[in-house]
Amino acid sequence: MAGKRCLSWIVFATLAVAIFVCMDGRTAEDTRASRIAEFEVKTKKALKANNARLWLDAADYALKQQLWEFYGDCLKHAVEADPKNAAVQTLLNKKLVGSEWLTDDEIFEREAKQKTAQGLVYYANYWGTPAQVDALRATDRKTVGWDVQVRLQSPRGYVTVYSNESLETTRRAAAITEATGYAYWEFYQTTFNLRLPPPLTVYLFKDKATFDQIFSKVSKQGPLPNGVAGVYGNGFKILLVHTDTGITGDSYLSTMAHEMIHAMDDRLAGIFKGNSPNWLMEGRAEHIGTYARWERLVIPGYVGLEANTAAVAFLTQEIESINLRQFLMASEKQKFGFAGYCVSFAFVHFLFHAENEKHAYAFRLFLSGGPNHYTMADFEKIVGKIDTIEPAYKKYVHDFLLPGMIATQKMAQDVRNTAQAKLESKDTQK
């Protein structure tokens, strides 16, 4: 069963992070500066040529070089250069409707205006007369146990969301679960030889009381601790999340994405906590379960935007004292808390992305062996000796991962400031 979310759930005081010196004498700041310099060369060419393809190349470079904060701007420049470019619009999660590229929300808003003008009302992904909707609502209330406000089905059948939250909140949750499912499919399709999964049921609650009630009903267990905002159980095959976490922002979306990885692991690859090490399960769930929220993208290895400070603080202070071998071996038999999530996330990030993906092929080969072959001995035989990998892992955290996490903190704040400015502008107009 999936447990607590960590990178996005525990908020510490902001920590000033020191600049660490690389082994060749350069600082992490220097190595990042060189990547930014090369990125600027690409953007100058793109700007001069006003060419969408060059902007897409710059966006791709930003992702590969972990310059995440520049990715969205590249896409915006690309679409300005060529508004009809299908590749750019698709990356922006837009669909072609007639001659226009629209987001799902824009499509829904247009449909809503037309249907409302016809005297129809919306309920559970259905437009009908008030009498038809009342009958459907009564049936759902009887079946599920409360008034289902929204039920959304993704185009590929990944997820149906039952919710007592608002329409907007539920639509965002549905979008993230689907995006996470696509990301999992694209990232692991060849590794696990995936086939399309059966539909997944998701419940989204606006209160923990209902969350506990439904969890107890489907799992036959007692309520979960207050710190648990979401759970997927391989025994009951249902994903449950609640939004009243006490944490500001859209933290429930991070939880939804994280638990979605557990669901995909179980339903597509036959991997779940009962047969696999915790570091492998939680580290990979954090790896893809983080995403660029404002574009509804899921970027494998992207660092989550909410409460980054907590993970930055821990990794900065504690990474050198971690005995990687002991941690990995212990996680095969027992659960862990916040520290374990941080170490696991960083280790999976390292295995997939460090040194131009030096270890990625071997790590994928290790994963393809399946749960019965996820032992330490198998890992060292296929990927490498832990004692040899550990120094490179810690160096990667210092020189690349931490600077990237700090950069996304600033990006997250910029996103929040922009959103707040829009709200204030609307209030002023009123």
- Decide: helix, strand or coil at residue 100: strand
pLDDT at 403: 82
Q: Packing angle between helix 324-331 and helix 386-396, nearest 10 degrees?
A: 100
Alpha carbon distance 327, 336 (integer Å): 10
- Confidence check: pLDDT of 204 > 60: yes
pLDDT(325) > 90: yes
Return the top range by mean pLDDT from 171-185, 241-255, 268-282, 286-300: 268-282
Contact 68, 292 (CB under 8 A): yes
More confident: 133 or 22? 133
**pLDDT score at 259:** 92
List every span in the chain annotated with CATH 3.40.30.160: 149-270
Mean pLDDT of 32-45: 90
Judge whether 93 and 174 are in contact, CB under 8 Å: no
How much is the pLDDT for 70? 78
Q: What is the pTM of this model?
A: 0.70
Tokens linked to 239? 């994903």
Which residue reads 């390292």 in tokens?
350
pLDDT at 12: 22
Q: What integer pLDDT is reported at residue 364 of this predicted model?
A: 95
Q: What pLDDT digit, counting tens, does each position of 406-430 carry?
A: 776 666 566 556 656 665 665 565 5
Q: Which of 381, 191, 198 is nearest to 287 (CA)?
A: 191
Query: 224 by DSSP, 3-state: which?
Result: coil
Distance CA 360, CA 336 (A): 25
Average pLDDT over residues 268-277: 87
pLDDT at position 16 is 21
CA 279 to chain centre: 17
* CATH (one of 3.40.50.300, 3.90.650.10, 2.40.70.10, 3.40.30.160) for 149-270: 3.40.30.160
Number of H helices, E strands in the chain: 17, 9
Q: Sort 23 into a burial class: Cβ within 10 Å, 0-12 / 13-18 / 19+.
A: exposed
User: Could you identify the residue written with the tokens 């247009």?
Assistant: 110
Q: Which of 7, 6, 23 is nearest to 398 (CA)?
A: 23
Looking at the DSSP assignment, which residues form a beta bridge with residue 160?
A: 153, 201
Number of neighbours of residue 410 by Cβ within 10 angstroms: 11
- Please list, residue by residue across 245-262, b when 16 or more beta carbons sit within 10 angstroms of its beta carbon and e when fewer do: bebebbbbbbbbbbbbbb
Q: How many CB atoms lie within 10 A of CB 343?
A: 25
- Using the Cα atoms of residue 135, residue 137, residue 143 and residue 147 in order, give the sign of their dihedral: negative
Residue 166 near residue 149 (C-beta atoms within 8 A): yes
Residue 194 CB burial class (10 angstroms; 0-12, 13-18, ≥19): middle
